[in-house]
Amino acid sequence: MTILPHVVVGGLIGSYTNSVSLAIAGGVASHLVLDFIPHYDHPIGKDHLRSFAAFYWWGSNIISVGVLWFLYGVGIPIFVGALSAALVDIENLVCMFTGYGLKFHRTGFWHRKTTPLRGFMHETAIVLVGLVWLYLRLTG
């Protein structure tokens, strides 16, 4: 899964807390729940940048940096929830490069994968619902 849905949902959960530690716990927990939804993970180092999968993968990850930047200005628990939800993916990088780690991001019961198109649709639905929800929370 790209970082964008994790950032949006982590920020949303952070908006329900008034504490940094609760925002961290909620952000991390939301990452595990979202990775249970079938998604696409682009193989790093095999970038065929003209493919739909690579375009959506890199586009979504780049947008998530902007969303994180925006949430930083909105409020600290929101930003911390979003950031800690995103940082769980470091486990994947550590595992890939060292072989050590929880191996949570290997495909298994708790980490489900699907095709790029289905993954894109699932992630887009999560992001749209999450953004509307967050907008309503922040403005209503």
Of the candidates 83, 108, 84, which has an alpha carbon nearest to the alpha carbon of residue 95? 108
Could you identify the residue written with the tokens 């609760």? 22
Q: How far is the CB of 77 from Zn ion (least distance, A)?
A: 21
- Which 3 state secondary structure label does DSSP give 43? coil
Among 2, 35, 126, 134, binds Zn ion (CB under 5 A): 35
Of the candidates 66, 79, 86, 69, which has an alpha carbon nearest to the alpha carbon of residue 5? 86
User: What residues from 55 to 94 belong to the interface with Zn ion (CB under 5 A)?
Assistant: 89
- CB closer to Zn ion, 37 vs 76: 37
The span of 30-38, 40-48, 74-82, 94-102 binding Zn ion (CB under 5 A) equals 30-38
Q: How far is the CB of 104 from Zn ion (least distance, A)?
A: 7
The C-alpha atoms of residue 85 and residue 101 are separated, in whole angstroms, by 17
Give all strands (DSSP E) within 12-62, no chain letters.
none
- CB closer to Zn ion, 90 vs 132: 90
Q: Does 123 bind Zn ion (CB under 5 A)?
A: no
Task: Name every residue whose Cβ is closer than 8 Å to that of residue 36 and which is 6 or more positions away in sequence.
Answer: 110, 111, 112
- CB closer to Zn ion, 35 vs 123: 35
Q: How far is the CB of 73 from Zn ion (least distance, A)?
A: 25
The C-alpha atoms of residue 57 and residue 24 are separated, in whole angstroms, by 25
Q: How far is the CB of 34 from Zn ion (least distance, A)?
A: 7
- CB closer to Zn ion, 89 vs 123: 89
- The binding site for Zn ion (CB under 5 A) comprises 35, 89
